[in-house]
Copies of this chain bind each other. A is one copy, B any other.
Protein backbone atom coordinates (compact mmCIF):
# COMPACT_ATOMS: atom_id res chain seq x y z
CA UNK A 1 0.00 0.00 0.00
CA UNK A 2 2.00 2.88 1.30
CA UNK A 3 5.47 3.35 -0.09
CA UNK A 4 8.17 2.83 2.51
CA UNK A 5 11.80 3.59 2.75
CA UNK A 6 12.54 0.09 1.51
CA UNK A 7 10.77 0.74 -1.75
CA UNK A 8 12.85 3.81 -2.28
CA UNK A 9 16.00 1.92 -1.40
CA UNK A 10 15.27 -0.87 -3.80
CA UNK A 11 14.37 1.50 -6.60
CA UNK A 12 17.46 3.59 -6.05
CA UNK A 13 19.63 0.52 -5.60
CA UNK A 14 21.00 1.54 -2.25
CA UNK A 15 20.40 0.45 1.31
CA UNK A 16 17.68 1.89 3.49
CA UNK A 17 20.39 3.50 5.57
CA UNK A 18 21.55 5.57 2.67
CA UNK A 19 18.04 6.65 1.87
CA UNK A 20 17.56 7.76 5.42
CA UNK A 21 20.82 9.65 5.38
CA UNK A 22 20.16 11.27 2.04
CA UNK A 23 16.70 12.41 2.98
CA UNK A 24 17.69 13.70 6.37
CA UNK A 25 20.50 15.74 4.92
CA UNK A 26 23.00 13.86 6.97
CA UNK A 27 26.62 13.89 5.94
CA UNK A 28 28.46 11.03 4.31
CA UNK A 29 26.53 10.51 1.16
CA UNK A 30 27.81 11.64 -2.20
CA UNK A 31 25.96 14.33 -4.01
CA UNK A 32 25.34 12.02 -6.91
CA UNK A 33 23.61 9.29 -4.93
CA UNK A 34 21.77 11.82 -2.87
CA UNK A 35 20.27 13.26 -6.00
CA UNK A 36 19.34 9.85 -7.28
CA UNK A 37 17.68 8.95 -4.01
CA UNK A 38 15.79 12.19 -3.75
CA UNK A 39 14.66 11.79 -7.30
CA UNK A 40 13.30 8.33 -6.64
CA UNK A 41 11.66 9.45 -3.42
CA UNK A 42 9.85 12.21 -5.21
CA UNK A 43 8.82 10.04 -8.06
CA UNK A 44 7.40 7.50 -5.65
CA UNK A 45 5.85 10.22 -3.52
CA UNK A 46 7.54 8.76 -0.53
CA UNK A 47 6.52 10.25 2.80
CA UNK A 48 8.33 8.96 5.87
CA UNK A 49 6.09 7.20 8.33
CA UNK A 50 6.02 9.61 11.22
CA UNK A 51 5.12 7.02 13.82
CA UNK A 52 8.08 4.88 12.92
CA UNK A 53 10.32 7.85 13.02
CA UNK A 54 8.93 9.06 16.32
CA UNK A 55 9.38 5.64 17.78
CA UNK A 56 13.08 5.80 17.39
CA UNK A 57 13.85 9.51 17.54
CA UNK A 58 11.51 10.05 20.45
CA UNK A 59 10.32 13.24 18.87
CA UNK A 60 6.91 13.89 17.43
CA UNK A 61 7.42 17.40 16.08
CA UNK A 62 4.10 18.20 17.66
CA UNK A 63 3.14 20.43 20.52
CA UNK A 64 -0.10 20.30 22.43
CA UNK A 65 -2.20 23.24 23.50
CA UNK A 66 -4.56 22.71 26.38
CA UNK A 67 -7.02 25.54 26.69
CA UNK A 68 -9.89 26.06 29.07
CA UNK A 69 -12.27 26.49 26.17
CA UNK A 70 -12.38 27.16 22.48
CA UNK A 71 -15.24 29.57 22.57
CA UNK A 72 -14.92 33.21 21.68
CA UNK A 73 -12.46 35.54 20.22
CA UNK A 74 -9.86 35.34 22.91
CA UNK A 75 -9.03 31.73 22.23
CA UNK A 76 -9.34 32.07 18.52
CA UNK A 77 -6.68 34.76 18.61
CA UNK A 78 -4.52 32.76 20.94
CA UNK A 79 -4.61 29.68 18.75
CA UNK A 80 -3.85 31.78 15.75
CA UNK A 81 -0.75 33.16 17.40
CA UNK A 82 0.36 29.71 18.46
CA UNK A 83 -0.26 28.24 15.03
CA UNK A 84 1.71 30.97 13.32
CA UNK A 85 4.74 30.39 15.47
CA UNK A 86 4.44 26.63 15.31
CA UNK A 87 4.24 26.64 11.56
CA UNK A 88 7.31 28.81 11.38
CA UNK A 89 9.18 26.17 13.33
CA UNK A 90 7.78 23.20 11.48
CA UNK A 91 5.85 22.03 14.50
CA UNK A 92 2.39 20.57 14.44
CA UNK A 93 -0.31 21.73 16.76
CA UNK A 94 -2.61 19.48 18.71
CA UNK A 95 -5.42 21.37 20.39
CA UNK A 96 -7.63 20.35 23.21
CA UNK A 97 -10.01 22.06 25.54
CA UNK A 98 -10.93 21.21 29.05
CA UNK A 99 -14.27 22.99 29.27
CA UNK A 100 -13.29 24.26 32.64
CA UNK A 101 -13.40 20.84 34.24
CA UNK A 102 -10.14 19.85 35.75
CA UNK A 103 -11.00 16.20 35.24
CA UNK A 104 -11.22 16.81 31.53
CA UNK A 105 -7.98 18.70 31.64
CA UNK A 106 -6.33 15.77 33.35
CA UNK A 107 -7.65 13.36 30.75
CA UNK A 108 -6.53 15.59 27.92
CA UNK A 109 -3.09 15.97 29.40
CA UNK A 110 -2.77 12.26 29.82
CA UNK A 111 -4.00 11.56 26.33
CA UNK A 112 -1.45 13.94 24.90
CA UNK A 113 1.27 12.06 26.69
CA UNK A 114 3.64 10.69 24.14
CA UNK A 115 1.95 12.42 21.24
CA UNK A 116 3.60 15.73 21.86
CA UNK A 117 7.07 16.99 22.56
CA UNK A 118 5.75 19.66 24.85
CA UNK A 119 2.58 21.38 25.97
CA UNK A 120 1.16 24.82 26.35
CA UNK A 121 -1.22 24.85 29.27
CA UNK A 122 -3.63 27.62 29.88
CA UNK A 123 -5.87 27.01 32.75
CA UNK A 124 -6.68 29.64 35.28
CA UNK A 125 -7.65 26.89 37.72
CA UNK A 126 -4.65 24.62 37.88
CA UNK A 127 -2.81 24.28 41.08
CA UNK A 128 0.56 22.80 41.88
CA UNK A 129 -0.67 19.37 42.81
CA UNK A 130 -2.77 19.08 39.70
CA UNK A 131 0.16 19.64 37.44
CA UNK A 132 2.66 17.48 39.22
CA UNK A 133 -0.05 14.86 39.22
CA UNK A 134 -0.93 14.85 35.56
CA UNK A 135 1.93 16.44 33.73
CA UNK A 136 4.58 13.83 33.24
CA UNK A 137 7.65 15.28 34.79
CA UNK A 138 9.94 15.15 31.81
CA UNK A 139 7.58 16.95 29.45
CA UNK A 140 8.52 20.51 28.58
CA UNK A 141 5.67 22.83 29.33
CA UNK A 142 4.79 26.47 29.29
CA UNK A 143 2.06 27.71 31.55
CA UNK A 144 -0.04 30.61 30.33
CA UNK A 145 -1.89 32.78 32.80
CA UNK A 146 -1.61 30.27 35.52
CA UNK A 147 -1.39 30.96 39.22
CA UNK A 148 1.33 28.42 39.76
CA UNK A 149 4.67 29.77 40.86
CA UNK A 150 6.61 26.60 40.42
CA UNK A 151 10.11 27.18 39.19
CA UNK A 152 10.04 23.89 37.34
CA UNK A 153 7.79 25.34 34.71
CA UNK A 154 8.14 28.28 32.42
CA UNK A 155 5.26 30.65 32.79
CA UNK A 156 3.83 33.44 30.74
CA UNK A 157 1.41 35.61 32.62
CA UNK A 158 -0.01 38.75 31.16
CA UNK A 159 0.22 41.69 33.46
CA UNK A 160 -3.30 41.49 34.78
CA UNK A 161 -2.37 43.39 37.87
CA UNK A 162 -0.59 46.20 36.07
CA UNK A 163 -3.27 46.57 33.44
CA UNK A 164 -6.05 46.78 35.98
CA UNK A 165 -4.00 49.14 38.10
CA UNK A 166 -3.40 51.45 35.16
CA UNK A 167 -7.01 51.40 34.06
CA UNK A 168 -8.23 52.18 37.54
CA UNK A 169 -5.78 55.01 37.79
CA UNK A 170 -7.00 56.28 34.45
CA UNK A 171 -10.57 56.30 35.67
CA UNK A 172 -9.58 58.16 38.81
CA UNK A 173 -7.51 60.65 36.83
CA UNK A 174 -10.49 61.23 34.66
CA UNK A 175 -12.31 62.41 37.70
CA UNK A 176 -14.58 59.52 38.54
CA UNK A 177 -15.00 59.22 42.26
CA UNK A 178 -17.48 56.37 42.54
CA UNK A 179 -16.31 53.28 40.72
CA UNK A 180 -17.66 49.76 40.64
CA UNK A 181 -15.57 46.72 39.82
CA UNK A 182 -17.19 43.67 38.30
CA UNK A 183 -15.26 40.55 39.28
CA UNK A 184 -14.64 37.40 37.30
CA UNK A 185 -15.43 33.88 38.44
CA UNK A 186 -14.32 32.92 41.90
CA UNK A 187 -10.94 31.26 42.00
CA UNK A 188 -9.93 32.40 38.55
CA UNK A 189 -6.38 33.65 38.55
CA UNK A 190 -6.75 36.31 35.91
CA UNK A 191 -9.85 37.59 37.61
CA UNK A 192 -8.31 37.84 41.05
CA UNK A 193 -5.18 39.55 39.76
CA UNK A 194 -7.27 42.13 38.00
CA UNK A 195 -9.23 42.75 41.12
CA UNK A 196 -6.04 43.11 43.11
CA UNK A 197 -4.85 45.73 40.64
CA UNK A 198 -8.07 47.62 41.04
CA UNK A 199 -7.97 47.45 44.82
CA UNK A 200 -4.41 48.62 45.03
CA UNK A 201 -4.91 51.48 42.63
CA UNK A 202 -7.83 52.70 44.69
CA UNK A 203 -5.89 52.30 47.91
CA UNK A 204 -2.91 54.20 46.54
CA UNK A 205 -4.93 57.09 45.28
CA UNK A 206 -4.90 60.23 47.37
CA UNK A 207 -8.50 60.87 46.34
CA UNK A 208 -11.24 59.24 48.29
CA UNK A 209 -13.02 56.81 46.05
CA UNK A 210 -16.40 55.28 46.56
CA UNK A 211 -16.02 51.61 45.68
CA UNK A 212 -18.52 48.89 44.86
CA UNK A 213 -17.70 45.28 44.11
CA UNK A 214 -20.12 43.35 41.92
CA UNK A 215 -19.83 39.64 41.33
CA UNK A 216 -19.63 38.49 37.73
CA UNK A 217 -18.31 35.38 36.06
CA UNK A 218 -16.75 36.61 32.79
CA UNK A 219 -19.88 35.83 30.77
CA UNK A 220 -21.73 38.43 28.78
CA UNK A 221 -24.82 37.12 30.54
CA UNK A 222 -23.56 38.12 33.96
CA UNK A 223 -22.58 41.56 32.69
CA UNK A 224 -26.05 42.04 31.30
CA UNK A 225 -27.64 41.01 34.59
CA UNK A 226 -25.50 43.41 36.57
CA UNK A 227 -26.23 46.14 34.05
CA UNK A 228 -29.96 45.69 34.56
CA UNK A 229 -29.54 45.93 38.29
CA UNK A 230 -27.52 49.09 37.91
CA UNK A 231 -30.27 50.59 35.78
CA UNK A 232 -32.71 50.21 38.63
CA UNK A 233 -30.61 51.22 41.57
CA UNK A 234 -30.32 54.70 42.96
CA UNK A 235 -26.74 54.13 44.07
CA UNK A 236 -25.37 53.85 40.59
CA UNK A 237 -21.60 54.30 40.35
CA UNK A 238 -20.26 56.90 37.97
CA UNK A 239 -17.94 54.38 36.31
CA UNK A 240 -17.82 50.61 36.05
CA UNK A 241 -14.68 48.61 35.42
CA UNK A 242 -15.48 45.08 34.32
CA UNK A 243 -12.88 42.36 34.69
CA UNK A 244 -13.30 41.41 31.04
CA UNK A 245 -14.75 42.80 27.85
CA UNK A 246 -17.62 40.37 27.48
CA UNK A 247 -19.13 41.49 30.76
CA UNK A 248 -18.54 45.12 29.86
CA UNK A 249 -20.40 44.55 26.62
CA UNK A 250 -23.27 42.82 28.39
CA UNK A 251 -23.56 45.79 30.69
CA UNK A 252 -23.40 48.18 27.80
CA UNK A 253 -26.35 46.47 26.17
CA UNK A 254 -28.32 46.56 29.40
CA UNK A 255 -27.61 50.28 29.73
CA UNK A 256 -28.61 50.95 26.15
CA UNK A 257 -31.86 49.16 26.76
CA UNK A 258 -32.46 50.80 30.10
CA UNK A 259 -31.89 54.26 28.74
CA UNK A 260 -28.76 54.83 30.75
CA UNK A 261 -26.35 56.81 28.59
CA UNK A 262 -22.76 55.71 28.19
CA UNK A 263 -20.47 57.45 28.92
CA UNK A 264 -22.59 60.43 30.04
CA UNK A 265 -24.47 58.69 32.83
CA UNK A 266 -21.99 55.96 33.50
CA UNK A 267 -18.58 55.17 32.06
CA UNK A 268 -17.61 51.61 31.22
CA UNK A 269 -14.23 49.96 30.91
CA UNK A 270 -13.30 46.39 30.11
CA UNK A 271 -10.27 44.13 29.88
CA UNK A 272 -8.84 42.05 27.00
CA UNK A 273 -9.51 44.20 23.96
CA UNK A 274 -11.22 41.45 22.09
CA UNK A 275 -12.02 42.45 18.52
CA UNK A 276 -15.70 43.01 19.29
CA UNK A 277 -14.94 45.72 21.75
CA UNK A 278 -14.24 48.27 19.08
CA UNK A 279 -17.45 47.46 17.26
CA UNK A 280 -19.86 48.12 20.06
CA UNK A 281 -21.55 51.43 20.58
CA UNK A 282 -19.89 53.33 22.06
CA UNK A 283 -16.54 51.63 21.46
CA UNK A 284 -15.16 50.20 24.63
CA UNK A 285 -12.29 51.59 26.63
CA UNK A 286 -10.33 48.56 27.68
CA UNK A 287 -7.00 47.03 28.54
CA UNK A 288 -5.28 45.67 25.53
CA UNK A 289 -3.82 42.22 25.71
CA UNK A 290 -1.86 41.28 22.62
CA UNK A 291 -3.48 37.89 22.48
CA UNK A 292 -1.88 36.49 19.36
CA UNK A 293 1.49 37.68 20.59
CA UNK A 294 0.86 35.89 23.83
CA UNK A 295 0.34 32.66 21.94
CA UNK A 296 3.35 33.21 19.79
CA UNK A 297 5.60 33.96 22.75
CA UNK A 298 4.38 30.93 24.59
CA UNK A 299 5.19 28.68 21.70
CA UNK A 300 8.59 30.21 21.24
CA UNK A 301 9.32 29.75 24.88
CA UNK A 302 8.37 26.13 24.52
CA UNK A 303 10.40 25.67 21.37
CA UNK A 304 13.37 26.98 23.28
CA UNK A 305 12.96 24.24 25.83
CA UNK A 306 12.58 21.71 23.07
CA UNK A 307 15.78 22.68 21.38
CA UNK A 308 18.00 22.43 24.39
CA UNK A 309 17.69 18.93 25.62
CA UNK A 310 19.12 20.30 28.83
CA UNK A 311 16.22 21.54 30.86
CA UNK A 312 17.15 25.16 30.84
CA UNK A 313 16.14 27.18 33.80
CA UNK A 314 12.58 28.10 32.96
CA UNK A 315 11.70 31.71 33.15
CA UNK A 316 8.70 33.73 34.03
CA UNK A 317 7.68 36.28 31.46
CA UNK A 318 5.10 38.93 31.95
CA UNK A 319 3.90 40.69 28.80
CA UNK A 320 2.64 44.14 29.61
CA UNK A 321 -0.80 45.47 28.83
CA UNK A 322 -1.76 48.85 27.45
CA UNK A 323 -4.89 50.71 28.16
CA UNK A 324 -6.88 51.70 25.12
CA UNK A 325 -9.04 54.74 25.51
CA UNK A 326 -12.22 54.77 23.46
CA UNK A 327 -15.53 56.49 23.84
CA UNK A 328 -17.14 54.36 26.52
CA UNK A 329 -15.34 56.28 29.25
CA UNK A 330 -15.63 59.59 27.52
CA UNK A 331 -12.46 59.12 25.53
CA UNK A 332 -10.58 61.95 23.98
CA UNK A 333 -12.85 61.81 20.97
CA UNK A 334 -16.29 61.16 22.38
CA UNK A 335 -17.96 61.63 19.03
CA UNK A 336 -16.29 58.60 17.54
CA UNK A 337 -18.65 55.70 17.35
CA UNK A 338 -16.75 53.48 14.97
CA UNK A 339 -13.65 51.40 15.34
CA UNK A 340 -10.19 52.51 14.54
CA UNK A 341 -9.61 51.46 10.98
CA UNK A 342 -5.90 51.19 10.85
CA UNK A 343 -4.50 54.63 10.41
CA UNK A 344 -7.68 56.11 9.07
CA UNK A 345 -9.36 56.87 12.32
CA UNK A 346 -6.81 57.18 15.04
CA UNK A 347 -9.25 57.30 17.92
CA UNK A 348 -7.41 54.73 19.99
CA UNK A 349 -5.05 56.21 22.45
CA UNK A 350 -2.89 53.76 24.24
CA UNK A 351 -0.82 54.13 27.30
CA UNK A 352 1.48 51.60 28.80
CA UNK A 353 0.64 49.92 32.04
CA UNK A 354 4.14 49.65 33.39
CA UNK A 355 4.65 51.07 36.80
CA UNK A 356 1.52 49.64 38.27
CA UNK A 357 3.12 46.62 39.81
CA UNK A 358 4.76 47.17 43.15
Contact = CB atoms under 8 A, between A and B. Distances in A.
A257 B114 contact: no
A76 B83 contact: no
A62 B62 CA distance: 12
A111 B92 contact: yes
Interface in A246-267: 249, 253-254, 256-257
Given A47-B114, A76-B79, A92-B115, 8 more contacts: A2-B138, A47-B110, A55-B55, A70-B80, A73-B73, A94-B94, A253-B339, A276-B276
A113 interface: yes
A31 to B, nearest CB: 25
Interface string A51-65: 110110000101000
Contact of A279 (B253, B339, B341): B253
B94 A93 contact: yes
Contact of A96 (B73, B92, B253): B92
A96 B83 contact: yes
Contact of A253 (B70, B72, B338): B338
Contacts of A281: 256, 280-281
A50 interface: yes
A186 interface: no
Interface in A211-256: 221, 224, 249, 253-254, 256
Interface string A97-127: 1000000000000111111000000000000
Nearest to A250: B341
Contacts of A221: 341-342
A80 B72 CA distance: 9
Contacts of A51: 50-52, 54-55, 60, 114
A93 B95 CA distance: 6
A342 B51 CA distance: 47
Contact of A94 (B54, B55, B92, B253): B92
Contacts of A70: 76, 79-80, 83
Interface string A268-286: 0000000110011100000
